[in-house]
Chain A
Amino acid sequence: DVKVTQSSRYLVKRTGEKVFLECVQDMDHENMFWYRQDPGLGLRLIYFSYDVKMKEKGDIPEGYSVSREKKERFSLILESASTNQTSMYLCASSFMGGQYGYTFGSGTRLTVV
């Protein structure tokens, strides 16, 4: 069964900590994405990547960075976590051209205290 795996389902971090959210896909997809999901705001794109070592800013990149050193892995980094980054984070991947849509991971619910 093809999968997008996010390393943690739940995380609790302190304000100011550096936080790493990891995502791995086993479908040989070129494209990978990070979204955050908040009630009433839908899915908002943070960063995406079309290739190894390549990244593009999405709609809300402030306070985040990403790393894609290998095709199958896309990491989201919160440089200095803040309480307004408490959210559900979703990773997704797709083939180049995206014809078949995204495959999503199960999500990481991050709480910053």
Chain B
Amino acid sequence: GQQLNQSPQSMFIQEGEDVSMNCTSSSIFNTWLWYKQDPGEGPVLLIALYKAGELTSNGRLTAQFGITRKDSFLNISASIPSDVGIYFCAGPSNTGNQFYFGTGTSLTVIP
């Protein structure tokens, strides 16, 4: 299956700092999803993007659907300890029935 390139692979930041991560694909997508996985749990959907150029927020999280349709970005403002986890991007197959996932960005927030 297709693998999405997600960076950075890991981040160690101080509480209160802003975070940026991105995801790129060799294919054009019509949907981008961002998930968060808390330690020991399954991933949970944070934000869904359906249109090139779209900017969507969920609290302190903001995600953007790149205008080339081959990339997406996730920003977290004023990080807090509960932001710790692995963040995954995902894009759909041609049929839309299957999603391809990035390799994840592991976020550690230092109090």
Contact = CB atoms under 8 A, between A and B. Distances in A.
Interface of A: 4, 31, 33, 40-43, 45, 48, 50, 58-59, 90, 92, 94, 96-107, 109
A98 B92 contact: yes
Contact size class for B? 20 to 34
A56 to B, nearest CB: 9
B40 A101 contact: no
The B interface is mostly helix, strand or loop, or mixed, namely loop
A92 B37 CA distance: 13
A41 B42 contact: no
Contacts of A4: 42
A97 to B, nearest CB: 5
Given A45-B98, A100-B48, A102-B99, 20 more contacts: A42-B88, A42-B101, A42-B102, A42-B103, A50-B97, A90-B42, A94-B99, A97-B96, A97-B97, A98-B98, A101-B33, A101-B48, A101-B90, A101-B99, A104-B42, A105-B42, A106-B41, A106-B42, A107-B41, A109-B40
Contacts of B103: 40-42
Nearest to A31: B97
Contacts of A40: 103
Contacts of A99: 31, 96
